Copies of this chain bind each other. A is one copy, B any other.
Amino acid sequence: MGTITKALDLLSHFNSERGEIGLASFVRLSGGDKATVRRHLVELEKNGFIDKNPQTRGYHLGPAVLRLASVREKHFPVRTAVMPVVDAMAADLEELVHASLLQGHVMSPVYHADTLRHGLRVIFDEAEMLPLHATSSGLAMMAFGPESVLDRAIAGGLSSYAPNTVIAQSDILHLISRFRTRGYSFSDGYFTKDVISFGMPFFGPGGDAIGTLAVPFPRSRYTADLAARVLVALRDGCRRITQSCGGTVPEALDAMWDRLPDTVTEIDIEGPVS
């Protein structure tokens, strides 16, 4: 790992549970030696990426990340394109809807909405990364994103997140090929037990899939009718976001999407891999 990656990797330890991290915790989390970690923290602080709490002496993320996020949105307003679409989908479906962007070998959530109509809800944490092979978001990216995403995703050992997580390479490839003939992905409890989720990709100006929309809901609410409504909403949403981003949906995928929801009756949610 290069010096820069080691330093940037320190930032990855901040998440929704961990907003402030002290030197000792950084040393423990990163496995680096104390002097090096301290030197990296000093440089990150000097550049506004972290701030020191003068009372606890712990570090939290600095204002530089807000400025960079704002500059990115100004030029490449994915979040701005995504927000109204996700809001409208959630209002229509009355289920949780979330959007994520590909970031290296994980999906990074950018926005979610939930009308909170149901007493039984899937809880979504925007600050958490989503593993590619275990979520409908990630699987949609593996199926419809650049081929290198799939190659990289299955190259390493695959972690299990729930009893149904598919971790054998051959099983993942089987799933991906099914998704490619359907134009969407699903997760049947791969990430969270008893949660079904459907996913679809949206495309950026470079022609590649840059992110995905997903709709997870409790398995107990699954009906063919809900699945059909979810898939049509995902398709319309991904088309709208793709258009706002100046991208294009690949022709073959677009043709599959045109046939929705007639093809939905064939959906066979059947556990890990049949």
Q: Which B residues lie within 8 Å of A74 (CB)?
A: 16, 19, 126-127
- Interface-located stretch among A46-54, A90-98, A185-193, A237-245: A46-54
Contact B53 A104 (CB under 8 A): no
> Would you call A66 and B108 a contact (CB within 8 A)?
yes
Contacts of A15 on B, CB cut-off 8 Å? 71
A19 to B71, CA, bound (A): 7
Q: CA of A240 to CA of B217 in the docked complex: distance in angstroms?
A: 39
- A3 to chain B minimum Cβ distance, whole angstroms, is 5
Report whether over half of chain A's contact residues are helix, strand or loop; otherwise say mixed.
mixed
Decide: B206 and A54 in contact? CB cutoff 8 A.
yes
Say which one of A56-64, A135-143, A170-178, A263-271 lies at the interface with B: A56-64
Beyond A66-B108, A69-B68, whether A75 also contacts B7 by CB under 8 A is no
Any B CB within 8 A of the CB of A157: no
- The reply to whether A104 and B46 form a contact with Cβ atoms under 8 Å apart is yes
Report the separation of the CA atoms of residues A4 and B6 in the bound assembly, to the nearest whole angstrom: 9
How far apart sit A75 and B65, CA to CA, in the bound complex (Å)? 13
Cross-interface CB contact of A4 among B44, B63, B68, B102, cutoff 8 Å: B44
Alpha-carbon distance between A53 and B65 when the two chains are bound, in angstroms: 21
Query: Are B3 and A48 neighbours in the complex by a CB distance under 8 Å?
Result: no
Convert A153-193 into 0s and 1s, putting 1 for each residue whose CB lies closer than 8 angstroms to a CB of B: 00000000000000000000000000000000000000000
Which residues from chain B contact A133 at a C-beta distance below 8 Å? Answer: none
Contacts of A205 in B (CB 8 A): 53, 55
A69 to chain B, nearest CB (A): 4
- Residue A9, interface by CB 8 Å: yes
Q: Is A67 an interface residue (CB 8 A)?
A: yes
Q: Could you give, for residues 1-21 of chain A, a 1 whenever the CB lies within 8 Å of some chain B CB and a 0 otherwise?
A: 011110111010011100110
Are A76 and B108 in touch, CB under 8 angstroms?
no
Q: Beyond A4-B43, A61-B72, A61-B75: 6 further Cβ-contacts under 8 Å? A: A8-B44, A47-B104, A54-B206, A61-B76, A65-B68, A67-B109
List 13 A-B pairs, Cβ < 8 Å: A2-B39, A4-B43, A14-B71, A16-B71, A16-B75, A19-B71, A19-B76, A49-B68, A55-B206, A61-B75, A65-B68, A68-B69, A74-B127
